[in-house]
Amino acid sequence: MNKLIFDEVLYSHKRCLKMELTQTIDNPLIFLGKQELQLKIRENNELINVFRKNVNSIFKQIKERYVFLLTDTEGYLLEMVYEKGIYNNIDKTGFKRGTSFKEESCGTNAISLAMRLNQLVYLKPEQHYCNIFKEWYCIAIPLIVDDEIIGYLDLSTIKDSMVDEMMVVVELLAYKIVSDYVSMVGNKVNNSKVKLTEKQLEVLKLAMKGYKDIAIAEELGISINTINYHKRNIFRKLDVRSTREAIAKAILTGLIE
């Protein structure tokens, strides 16, 4: 373990102590509600499909005791792939779609550290904070498209130690997921021959710079209602459900730079 990760593990444990997180919790503490989870699944549908496709393609080629996890940018679990005959009780420990892997939910873990450090992190059981991970070996890595994180990939085993070579497997799997995601999102938009109007492009570019709707309206000299009208049309044309997703697709397909 390099010094940066070693130090961050210590800092993470201190943060957990400071927030008085109990090490003996039986389940993670934070979960998405049903409607919030459905929205997350819709927003990340392409990423989930690419994750499933790539994981399933290698699942039977490697040791069956691995657990593959995909989270969104905030650390909420979007999908899991594992051998149910081996890990038949994993859902009873609270690990299911919508589970949060933030520190305040389940203590120090590979995903929470990857979120802080923006790099691959490998943790052994004793380096986790909460007992629910005390048999987990975990490798987590951010999924990055054009310098923007779109989610996190985690490969874990429970009770079985992890060979160092699996870090290379995780890096290659992350690369393949990102590559296929970019291709899928790009083809989806290109195939529909999307064209945005000048005003729609202006709205999107200002949103990309971090402008809120009211600031965009003031900058362009139009009303909030008009901004909402343009955004609805942008979402419809790009087949997205959020401004963030619209910006990502517009960048990936060259509509904006």
Among residues 112, 76, 108, the alpha carbon closest in space to that of 95 is found at 76
What's the helix, strand, coil split of the chain in %, to 5?
50, 15, 35
3-state secondary structure 51-66: HHHHHHHHHCCCCCCE
Pairing of strands 121-123, 77-81: unpaired
Report whether 156 contacts 137 (CB < 8 A): yes
Report whether 122 contacts 138 (CB < 8 A): yes
pLDDT value, residue 192? 52
Structure confidence at residue 11 as a pLDDT band (50, 70, 90): very high
Fold equal for 3-188 and 192-252: no
pLDDT value, residue 122? 95
The CATH classification of domain 3-188, taken from the options 3.30.450.40, 3.40.50.2300, 3.10.20.30, 3.40.50.9100: 3.30.450.40
pLDDT value, residue 249? 84
pLDDT value, residue 59? 77
Which tens digit of pLDDT belongs to each residue from 163-198? Answer: 777 888 899 999 999 999 988 886 654 555 578 888
* Chain mean pLDDT for the chain: 89
Q: Which of 2-6, 12-16, 58-62, 97-101 has the lowest mean pLDDT?
A: 58-62
Which tens digit of pLDDT belongs to each residue from 93-117? Answer: 788 999 999 999 999 999 999 999 9
Which tens digit of pLDDT belongs to each residue from 123-172? Answer: 999 999 999 999 999 999 999 987 789 999 999 998 888 877 788 889 99
Report whether 143 contacts 137 (CB < 8 A): no
Tokens of 101: 């892997």
H or E, element range at 149: strand 148-158
Strand partners, 67: 156
Question: Does residue 128 sit in helix, strand or coil?
Answer: coil
Which tens digit of pLDDT belongs to each residue from 21-80? Answer: 999 998 999 999 999 999 999 999 999 999 999 998 887 777 568 899 999 999 999 999
What are the residue ranges spanned by the domains of the chain? 3-188, 192-252
Its pTM stands at 0.72
pLDDT value, residue 86? 65
pLDDT value, residue 85? 66
Among residues 142, 174, 150, 141, the alpha carbon closest in space to that of 248 is found at 150
pLDDT value, residue 82? 87
What's the topology of domain 192-252? Arc Repressor Mutant, subunit A (1.10.10)
Indicate the DSSP class of residue 210: T
